[in-house]
C-alpha cells in the first residue's frame, strides 16, 4: 500500500470502469457541450435587445419596434428550451453511467477482499477497509457526479466565450486575458497547497470510523470496566483531529473563491471604462458591451468553478488513490484444480516450520492422522493450537516442510478445492444478519428446508428454533446478540453438518454454559465429529479422553503425542496439564 499513484495514473485506472458505460457517458457529455454553446450565445442575443432599444432611441425618435424585440425574445425562448432539455437529458445519462461505474468499482473491491492473503487483514483496521468500500467509492461518485460535467463544461465555455468576446472587441478581450493568468495562479496555487490537507482530512475520517467501530463493538466491555471516560477521551482525540484537519482543508480551499472574484471585479471595472469610450465613439453597440461584461463572468467562471470544485476533486483524488492502490495489490495466486481428492485418507504434517513474522513460532512439527480419527489439540494459551488449524486451511503457508493430504502437498490444491474439504465450528461463532434458515444454508447453498431441519435436529437445535416466533425464518441481528452463545454454537454445528465436510475443525468453547445446554452441545459435537476426521482444540475432558490422538503443545512445539491413558502413564506435560485443568470436570 506504500506507493502513491499520480493523478494521471488514477485516471488510467478509472478509465476502464467508465468505458463499460461509455455510450451513455458520451451522450451525456455531448449534451453538456451543447449547453455550453447555448450558454455562450445567450448573452449576445440578450444584448441585441439593448442594442435594438439603443437604435430606436437614437435614430427613430424613441419609437420602439416591438415586433423586432418580440422576435428576439422568441429566439431566446427557443434557445432556453433547448438548454433546459439538454440539461435534463444529460443529467439522466451522466448519473446513470456514473452510478453503474460505482457499482462496478464496489464489486471489484468486494472481489479483491476475497483474493487477498489473510496476512493483509492482520495488518488492517476493519474501519479502514470498510471506509474503502463505502466512503471512498461514495466520495469518488460525488466528485464525478458534480465535477465531470462541470469540468468539461468549463473548458468548452472557455473556448466558446473567448470566440464570442473576440468577435466583439479585440482590446477588451486582451484586457480580460491579462487577468486570467492571475486567476489561474491564485486558484491552482491554493489547490496545490490544500491537496495534502485533504489527504490528512480523509485519513482522519478513516481513523474516526475505526474509533467509532471499536466503541460500538466493545460496548459491553467498556461499560463493565467503567472505561467510558477513557473511551470518550480516545473518541474526543479522533474527533478533534477530524475537526482540525477538516478546518485546515476547507479554509485553504475556501480562500480561492473570494480572491478570484476580486480579480474579476477589477477586470470588469477596466473593461467597462474602456467599453463606454468605445460605445460613445460608436465602435461597439451598447448591447455588445452588456454582453461582453456577462462574458467576463462566464470566462472567469470556468477557473472559479474549478477552484470551487477543488475540494471534491481533491477528496476524489485521495479516494481514488486509496481505492486503486488497494485494487492493484498482489492477490493470492490460485492453482488450477490439477489434483483431485475424493476421499481424505491421511493428513500429515511433515517437519513443518512456521512463524507469522520473521521469527519462528513452530518448528519441526510432524504427525500423521488417518481417516475418521479424532485429534485433540491441547496446551496453554498461545501454544499455537489455532495456528496449527490455520496452516491446515492454508490461511498461512508453512515456511519449511509440508502439510500433505493423501501424501500430496496441500499447496498443489486450489484454495477452493482444499477449503471445500473442511467444516468449521469456532468458539467465536459467526452468524450474519439474516434468517436462521439462510444462516444454516451458508455451508451448503443447495440444501432445502428438509435438509436444514434434519441437520438442526442432529445438532439438537431444532426444538429451540421452534420456540422462536418466526421459526426458521426468525431473523438474527447483525451482531447475533439476540441469540445466546450456546445456541449460536449449536447453530454453527448444524451449519457444519449441512456442509457435510470430510474434515472438521472444532474449537470448543471455553465459556461454561448451563448443564442442560452443555449436554446438548456435547451430543451435537459428538454427532458432527462422527465418522469424520476431526481436529479439536479441546477444552472438554470427554473430547480428550475419547480422542485417537492427543497433541500436547507448548510454545509452538508438540511436546507429547498419544492417547489419554498412554500420556497419563508418562507423567509428563500432559499429566500436569490434566491435573491442573481437566481432572475436575
Ligand X SMILES: Nc1ncnc2c1ncn2[C@@H]1O[C@H](COP(=O)(O)OP(=O)(O)OP(=O)(O)O)[C@@H](O)[C@H]1O
Q: Which residues contribute to the site for ligand X (CB under 6 A)?
A: 122, 356, 361, 379, 381-387
**Cell 454582453 sits on residue:** 291
Least distance from C-beta 404 to ligand X, angstroms?
21
**Cell 493483509 sits on residue:** 120
- DSSP alpha helices (H): ranges in 434-583? 436-441, 449-458, 462-467, 485-499, 515-529, 541-545, 564-570, 573-577
Q: Are strands 346-354 and 400-405 parallel, antiparallel or unpaired?
A: antiparallel
Nearer to ligand X, 236 or 397 (CB): 397
Least distance from C-beta 377 to ligand X, angstroms?
8
DSSP 472: G
Distance CA 242, CA 70 (A): 57
Longest dimension (CA), the chain: 127
**Residues in Cβ contact with 510 at an 8 Å cutoff, skipping those fewer than 6 apart:** 427, 539
Nearer to ligand X, 286 or 544 (CB): 544
Distance CA 338, CA 414 (A): 8
Nearer to ligand X, 386 or 546 (CB): 386
Nearer to ligand X, 259 or 386 (CB): 386
Nearer to ligand X, 379 or 401 (CB): 379
DSSP 474: P
Least distance from C-beta 331 to ligand X, angstroms?
19
C-alpha dist (Å) from residue 143 to 15, 75, 306: 15, 35, 12
Least distance from C-beta 187 to ligand X, angstroms?
48
Nearer to ligand X, 122 or 514 (CB): 122
> Do the beta carbons of residue 503 and residue 532 sit within 8 Å?
yes
> Do the beta carbons of residue 352 and residue 426 sit within 8 Å?
no
Name the β-bridge partners of 550: 376, 562
Angle at 274 between CA 268 and CA 276, to 5 degrees: 95
Could you list the beta-strand ranges (E) of 319-411: 346-354, 362-370, 374-378, 400-405, 408-409
Least distance from C-beta 357 to ligand X, angstroms?
7
Nearer to ligand X, 305 or 387 (CB): 387
Q: Which helix (H) or strand (E) holds 534?
A: strand 533-537
368's grid cell: 500423521
Least distance from C-beta 450 to ligand X, angstroms?
37
Distance CA 158, CA 36 (A): 9
Least distance from C-beta 576 to ligand X, angstroms?
17
Nearer to ligand X, 459 or 505 (CB): 505
Nearer to ligand X, 296 or 505 (CB): 505
C-alpha dist (Å) from residue 73 to 78, 84, 295: 9, 16, 20
Q: Which helix (H) or strand (E) holds 143?
A: helix 137-143
Q: Which helix (H) or strand (E) holds 553?
A: strand 549-554
Least distance from C-beta 578 to ligand X, angstroms?
16
Least distance from C-beta 415 to ligand X, angstroms?
18
Least distance from C-beta 561 to ligand X, angstroms?
16
Angle at 243 between CA 238 and CA 245, to 5 degrees: 90
150's grid cell: 462541470
Nearer to ligand X, 498 or 558 (CB): 558
Q: What is the dihedral of CA 40, 44, 45, 49, to 10 degrees?
A: 150
Nearer to ligand X, 218 or 355 (CB): 355
Cβ-count burial of 213 within 10 angstroms (0-12 exposed, 13-18 middle, 19+ buried)? middle
Nearer to ligand X, 145 or 386 (CB): 386
Distance CA 470, CA 467 (A): 9
Nearer to ligand X, 400 or 473 (CB): 400
Least distance from C-beta 390 to ligand X, angstroms?
7
Name the β-bridge partners of 347: 369, 405
CA 117 from centroid of its chain's CA atoms: 17
Amino acid at each position: 500500500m506504500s506507493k502513491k499513484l499520480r493523478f494521471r495514473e488514477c485516471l488510467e485506472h478509472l478509465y476502464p470502469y467508465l468505458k463499460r458505460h461509455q455510450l451513455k457517458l458520451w451522450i451525456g457529455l455531448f449534451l453538456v457541450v451543447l449547453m455550453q454553446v447555448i450558454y455562450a450565445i445567450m448573452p449576445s442575443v440578450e444584448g441585441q435587445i439593448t442594442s435594438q432599444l439603443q437604435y430606436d432611441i437614437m435614430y427613430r425618435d424613441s419609437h420602439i419596434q416591438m415586433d423586432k424585440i418580440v422576435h428576439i425574445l422568441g429566439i431566446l425562448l427557443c434557445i432556453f428550451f433547448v438548454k433546459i432539455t439538454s440539461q435534463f437529458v444529460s443529467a439522466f445519462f451522466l448519473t446513470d453511467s456514473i452510478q453503474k461505474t460505482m457499482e462496478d468499482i464496489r464489486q471489484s473491491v468486494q472481489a479483491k477482499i476475497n483474493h487477498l492473503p489473510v496476512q493483509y487483514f492482520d495488518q488492517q483496521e476493519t474501519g479502514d477497509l470498510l471506509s474503502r468500500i463505502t466512503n471512498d467509492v461514495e466520495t469518488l461518485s460525488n466528485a464525478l457526479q458534480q465535477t465531470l460535467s462541470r469540468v468539461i463544461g468549463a473548458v468548452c465555455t472557455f473556448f466558446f466565450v473567448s470566440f464570442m468576446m473576440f468577435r466583439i472587441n479585440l482590446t477588451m478581450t486582451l484586457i480580460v486575458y491579462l487577468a486570467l493568468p492571475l486567476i489561474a495562479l491564485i486558484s491552482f496555487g491554493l489547490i496545490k497547497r490544500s491537496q495534502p490537507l485533504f489527504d490528512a482530512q480523509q485519513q482522519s475520517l478513516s481513523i474516526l470510523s475505526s474509533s467509532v467501530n471499536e466503541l460500538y463493538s466493545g460496548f459491553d466491555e467498556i461499560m463493565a470496566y467503567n472505561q467510558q471516560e477513557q473511551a470518550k477521551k480516545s473518541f474526543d482525540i479522533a474527533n478533534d483531529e477530524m475537526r482540525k484537519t477538516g478546518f485546515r482543508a476547507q479554509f485553504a480551499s475556501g480562500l480561492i473563491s473570494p480572491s478570484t472574484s476580486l480579480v474579476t471585479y477589477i477586470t470588469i471595472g477596466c473593461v467597462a471604462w474602456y467599453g463606454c469610450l468605445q460605445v460613445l465613439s460608436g465602435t461597439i453597440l451598447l448591447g455588445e458591451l452588456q454582453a461582453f461584461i456577462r462574458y467576463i463572468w462566464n470566462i472567469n467562471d470556468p477557473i472559479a468553478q474549478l477552484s470551487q470544485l477543488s475540494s471534491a476533486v481533491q477528496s476524489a483524488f485521495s479516494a481514488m488513490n486509496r481505492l486503486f492502490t488497494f485494487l492493484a495489490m498482489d492477490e493470492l495466486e490460485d492453482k488450477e484444480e490439477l489434483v483431485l481428492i475424493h476421499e481424505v485418507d491421511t493428513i500429515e504434517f511433515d517437519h513443518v516450520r512456521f512463524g507469522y513474522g520473521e521469527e519462528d513460532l513452530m518448528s519441526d512439527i510432524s504427525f500423521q492422522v488417518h481417516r475418521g480419527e479424532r485429534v485433540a489439540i491441547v496446551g496453554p494459551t498461545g501454544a499455537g493450537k489455532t495456528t496449527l488449524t490455520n496452516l491446515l486451511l492454508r490461511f498461512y503457508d508453512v515456511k519449511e516442510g509440508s502439510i500433505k493430504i493423501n501424501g500430496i502437498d496441500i499447496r498443489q490444491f486450489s484454495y477452493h478445492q482444499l477449503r471445500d474439504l473442511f467444516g468449521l465450528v469456532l468458539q467465536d461463532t459467526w452468524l450474519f444478519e439474516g434468517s436462521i434458515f439462510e444462516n444454516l444454508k451458508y455451508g451448503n447453498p443447495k440444501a432445502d428446508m428438509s435438509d436444514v431441519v434434519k441437520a438442526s435436529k442432529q445438532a439438537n437445535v431444532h426444538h429451540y428454533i421452534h420456540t422462536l416466533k418466526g421459526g426458521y425464518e426468525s431473523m438474527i441481528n447483525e451482531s447475533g446478540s439476540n441469540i445466546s452463545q450456546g445456541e449460536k454454537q449449536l447453530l454453527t454445528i448444524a451449519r457444519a453438518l449441512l456442509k457435510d465436510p470430510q474434515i472438521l475443525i472444532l474449537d470448543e468453547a471455553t465459556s461454561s454454559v448451563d448443564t442442560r445446554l452443555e449436554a446438548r452441545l456435547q451430543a451435537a459435537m459428538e454427532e458432527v465429529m462422527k465418522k469424520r476426521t476431526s481436529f479439536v482444540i479441546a477444552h472438554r475432558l470427554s473430547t480428550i479422553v475419547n480422542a485417537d490422538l492427543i497433541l500436547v503443545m507448548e510454545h509452538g512445539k508438540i511436546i507429547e503425542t498419544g492417547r489419554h491413558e498412554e500420556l497419563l502413564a508418562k507423567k509428563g506435560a500432559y499429566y500436569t496439564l490434566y491435573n491442573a485443568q481437566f481432572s475436575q470436570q
